[in-house]
A and B are shown apart, each in its own frame.
Chain A
Amino acid sequence: MATTGTASTFRPSIPASSRLTHLRSPPSKVPNFTPPPPSRSRSFSVSCTIAKDPTFLMAEAEEKTKAAGSDPTLWKRPDSFGRFGKFGGKYVPETLMHALSELETAFYSLATDDDFQRELAGILKDYVGRESPLYFAERLTEHYRGENGQGPLIYLKREDLNHTGAHKINNAVAQALLAKRLGKKRIIAETGAGQHGVATATVCARFGLECIIYMGAQDMERQALNVFRMRLLGAEVRGVHSGTATLKDATSEAIRDWVTNVETTHYILGSVAGPHPYPMMVRDFHAVIGKETRRQAMEKWGGKPDVLVACVGGGSNAMGLFHEFVDDAEVRMIGVEAAGFGLDSGKHAATLTKGDVGVLHGAMSYLLQDDDGQIIEPHSISAGLDYPGVGPEHSFLKDMGRAEYYSVTDEEALEAFKRVSRLEGIIPALETSHALAHLEKLCPTLPDGARVVLNFSGRGDKDVQTAIKYLEV
């Protein structure tokens, strides 16, 4: 049985921690939203099964995955328990089980609800500014052209052009719409650097929802501008002082709030992490990135991309691009994590490269933990990659060998930041700069004319002050 990270506030079935004594009994009221007769098993049977015999379940899952073999079309992503192979799942207290299955049911029903899809598409188009262009980066391509005149063709999927400047809004908008359908009037979220907080505050303003953002006190100091932005948008920003006063502590606090207020509140998780159905939901809400890319690639060159590259923090922008192409075996997928000061320095966020399997924030996945299962404080110059875990689906894709994961240091990311600003006149977010930095190693290995699509997940205006300190400009 894999080791379980003790830093998680969730343990399967036993809420023994003193921090959970304020839990009320499960809500007896039935929420207003009545889902259609579910075709899947009811919530209580799911929680019982996981609590009773996890070893059996996981072995079964691994067997099934082995049987499916290397054919991605046969993989269950996720299965009915929210597992991607052995990763994922729902490691949460009892009080949240109902809310999670309510969410899951709502999500499945809205997937086929034409009104919802039409409304969402309209908002993505007129409010967020989709579809985002697939931009041929001429000077970047030239930069990677070898002396023989050969080299790959670099395309950038411009998520930086979205409203609020990153891909985060795709998910925030959809979840806010979902919350409205569920009759919830209160939204909570956690944020590290503030990007997800700003995206959440943005959509709450747009939809007239009450918004509370949990942010580590240390992060609040470092990101005063984003704190102001969230307040300008009408959100309440609550500082979290426990632990190291950073993202993981803010996440725990947000989860605590949700446990307490689950009837009135929806928790907008910012990435493809957390308990099922979040990894699936957030991925599916970002999947518009990959869907558009397929169509645009067909229009532009009558084919598919050869390689997809994206930075990985929690993994949402990467899954948004990859998901559409997982079944296309000839499309290579590359995720790039943050190596911070270097993989050997102990100050990085390269979860998939250096982490071990454990449970954090409700899901089983790779995470950065020490021998006692305590979470190691990650480091990256880019706050958005500064997460000690990673989405379970990425852990799965890594183990299955479907996607490859590398890492890039702070320094390499800063160089790429400067390089792409100078060559294309687009300032990338420091997170995105990690993916861009990896092109230095990747491109020389690619055949002539290989088409690389890089997810330009965010713009770098927010990072200009930070970068200037390090770069000689």
Chain B
Amino acid sequence: MSSTKIQVRGQPLPMVLTRNHRMINSVVCGVQNKRHHYVSNVLRTIDPPLGSVPTRTDDSQFLRGDGNGRFGRFGGKFVPETLISPLKYLEDEFNFVLSDHEFQEELTTALRDYVGRETPLYFAGRLTEHYKNISQTTGGGPEIYLKREDLSHCGSHKINNALAQAMIARRLGCSRVVAATGAGQHGVATAAACAKLSLECTVFMGSTDIEKQSSNVLSMKLLGAQVKSVEGTFKDASSEAIRNWVGNLETTYYLSGTVVGPHPSPLMVREFQSVIGKETRRQANQLWGGKPDVLVACIGSGSNALGLFHEFVGDEDVRLVGVEAAGLGLDSGKHSATLAVGDVGVYHGSMSYLLQDDQGQILEPHSVGVGLEYPGVGPEISFLKETGRAEFYTATDQEAIQACMLLSRLEGIIPALEASHALAFLDKLVPTLRDGTKVVVNCSGRGDKDLDILIQRGMPSSLR
């Protein structure tokens, strides 16, 4: 099953009557979009603000994209004609709510009272000690902090975005929401948000994923969502969900779970997840009067990573480290290490790195962390790689499982297998760091959903 790699020839569109917002003609282009040349050369400097909290430096504005869907050469809007208007509509609404006081207040209250924000920045004392003992350093060793997105309602960072977008769906007058989910976390978060906001919800999920994450499927149904099985995995469910949306544009809102897809999805999802990074900056300042030195996050498509990174992209002294899934090993052909071994192409509406063969056919990804099983990656992540702003590594299934067990035993926190990839990388990262380096790992979800997988894999004899 191939992707929707549709190239649309450039042609201006008729004026679409939208709200009172400014109306912009969007010109659909192929790979060469003139716009990005215009913005990417602009560097803006903003005076440091008053007050003790150091805010982000905007020296590298271009690293955040041009605000019109392009991140360097990545991103864009590779979609059929029918979707151009709805996407524009969505973009206009998104820009409106960004500065709408009422929306922001409602969202902040919901994030606080419904989701349980802000999530703690937790000093993992025993994990820090563990690495200190291994390296036998005389100093304190690096300090490891966990950003506890696992404590959010529904158990992962997915709800930050699902809630905000469900609110937009309601504003747009949609009665129905469709979404695609891999591990089920986005599906559950969407179902929960839709229940709260009285929206009908249909979630598409790959048949193999449904088997692996059955508890999430049951949760979605209990929350009132319809779960539709699609032959294959997340990428197939995604395609089906988009197809369903296209067929029901009048009433339906497509709630994307991650930073892929045509503009404005990557931008929107990143903005809604960026609360993670904003809180982290404030908390780091409270805890140690400075910024983190290294940020580590797992990368499936990149939503939790961008949520943490985005705030710090302009802070050159903050290292950004993403960890992909190497599955059974990069040579095995069974992995999801898109940035490590992928090539650039267009998939699901945007240009980015993806796992494709010589004929441009999408390769089937694999990871024990089901949420990382995506053959593509967000365009903004591809851009951060290309500019060298962020570094990307991989961790195998086995390493992730070990890391999951280690954190459970040392800190009493069972992380999701996805987040475990980020934790696994600490084994290689920490020995290279100086004493006192502050490492913040995005603990993007809790691992209750993965217990069945862990049971199947069996516990190694070294850990009881």
Report which A residues bind B (CB closer than 8 A): 125-127, 129, 132-136, 138-139, 158, 161-163, 165, 201-206, 208, 225, 228-229, 231-234, 236, 417-418, 421-427, 460-461, 464-465, 467-468, 471, 473
Contacts and interface: CB of A to CB of B under 8 A. Distances in A.
B408 A425 contact: no
Nearest to A127: B122
Dominant SS among interface residues on chain B: helix
B192 interface: yes
Contacts of B113: 133-136, 158
A232 B198 contact: no
Nearest to A296: B113
A467 B151 contact: no
Contacts of B194: 425
Nearest to A462: B448
Nearest to B413: A163
B412 A421 contact: no
A161 B215 CA distance: 18
Contact of A422 (B116, B121, B126, B224): B224
* A-B pairs, 7 with minimum CB distance: A425-B192, A425-B195, A205-B412, A202-B412, A161-B116, A206-B412, A425-B196
B417 interface: no
A234 B408 contact: yes
Interface residues of B, number: 45
Contacts of A464: 215, 218-219, 222
Interface stretch (B55-63, B233-241, B296-304, B451-459): B451-459
29 contacts: A126-B148, A127-B120, A129-B151, A133-B112, A133-B116, A138-B196, A158-B113, A161-B153, A163-B151, A203-B412, A205-B408, A205-B410, A206-B126, A229-B451, A232-B409, A421-B222, A421-B223, A421-B224, A422-B222, A422-B223, A424-B195, A425-B191, A425-B194, A427-B219, A464-B219, A465-B215, A468-B222, A471-B222, A473-B222
Contacts of A138: 196
Contact of B121 (A126, A228, A468): A126
B114 interface: yes
Contact of B122 (A126, A139, A418, A427): A126
Interface in B417-464: 448, 451-452, 454-455, 459, 463-464
Nearest to B163: A425
Contacts, number: 120
A72 B413 CA distance: 41
B119 interface: yes
Nearest to A208: B126
A457 to B, nearest CB: 15
A461 B448 contact: yes
Contacts of A133: 112-114, 116
B35 to A, nearest CB: 39
Nearest to A176: B412
B61 to A, nearest CB: 34
A134 B192 CA distance: 18
Contacts of A203: 412
B222 A233 contact: no
B403 interface: no
A202 B407 CA distance: 11
B411 A205 contact: yes
Given A233-B408, A425-B191, A418 B222 contact: yes
B455 A461 contact: no
A228 B221 contact: no
B259 interface: no
B414 interface: yes
A425 B223 contact: yes
Nearest to A135: B113
A233 B119 CA distance: 22
A233 B451 contact: no
B413 A427 contact: no
A423 B196 CA distance: 6
B123 interface: yes
A339 B344 CA distance: 62
A125 B410 CA distance: 19
A214 B65 CA distance: 56
B123 A126 contact: yes
B190 to A, nearest CB: 10
Contacts of B405: 232
B193 interface: yes
Interface in B97-148: 112-114, 116, 119-123, 126, 148
A231 B464 contact: yes
Contact of A233 (B151, B155, B409, B455): B409
A205 B455 contact: no
Contacts of B412: 201-206, 233
A421 to B, nearest CB: 5
A203 B408 CA distance: 11
B215 A139 contact: no
A196 to B, nearest CB: 14
Contacts of A135: 113-114
A427 B116 contact: no
A135 B117 CA distance: 12
A234 B215 contact: no
A234 to B, nearest CB: 4
A465 B218 contact: yes
A468 B217 CA distance: 11
B459 A231 contact: yes
A135 B111 CA distance: 11
Residue from the set A125, A165, A232, A425 with the largest chain B CB neighbour count within 10 Å: A425
A232 B454 contact: yes
A343 B186 CA distance: 41
Given A129-B151, A205-B411, A422-B195, A427 B120 contact: no
A203 B454 CA distance: 21
A228 B454 contact: yes
Contacts of B112: 133
Interface in B186-238: 191-196, 198, 215, 218-219, 221-224
A228 B116 contact: no
A158 B116 CA distance: 8
Given A136-B113, A202-B413, 17 more contacts: A125-B120, A126-B120, A127-B120, A129-B148, A133-B113, A139-B196, A203-B412, A225-B451, A229-B451, A231-B459, A233-B414, A236-B464, A424-B196, A425-B193, A427-B223, A461-B448, A468-B222
Contacts of B116: 129, 132-133, 158, 161
